[in-house]
Structure 1
């Protein structure tokens, strides 16, 4: 003998509310790179599709400005866009 669970309209409304809350929270925690003002090294490497060594060379040569905070390198998104623009023009 099987037991049937009845789903009421209130159950569906509660589920919908919970689902949208989780989706909104997920979207807030996963900002796209364009929405961020500062990017970490790993994000820059993914965005530019370069290795850690290449990123280090860009820092050493002064091609890409950075800020170091507590051992973590941060790069301004605007500087990365500018670099990409210069590469596109050459």
Structure 2
């Protein structure tokens, strides 16, 4: 199927490291993480393509809310995904 991307274990580890770096930058600047993020913010934060973000929505991995034509994601949901991925990686080792 066109447009489907598979995330490897290394991809998840790299994504987690990028997210941690971004969170540390945010904490150092004194800003509190935003509670709701738009699609472009999630793509930039996770360094993923629009197709990957769509796959995360379609397969139910990343919950979202659509208001009009704008899709919003909860910051907490993104963090839950990372925690789950981290646990899977630990269990596989």
Matched with 1:73 is 71
Classify 1:33/1:53 alpha carbon distance in 2 versus 1 (closer, same or farther; 3 Å): farther
Classify 1:88/1:43 alpha carbon distance in 2 versus 1 (closer, same or farther; 3 Å): same
Runs of 4+ in 1 over 4 A off after TM superposition: 31-34
Q: How many residues align?
A: 60
Cα deviation, 1:41-72, whole Å, max 9, x if unaligned, reads 01111111110000001100011000001111
Q: Which ranges of structure 1 fall in alignment gaps of 5 or more residues?
A: 1-30
Q: CA RMSD in A?
A: 2.1
Q: Give TM-score, length-normalised by structure 1.
A: 0.60
Q: Which has the higher contact order (CA 8 A, sep 6+)?
A: 2
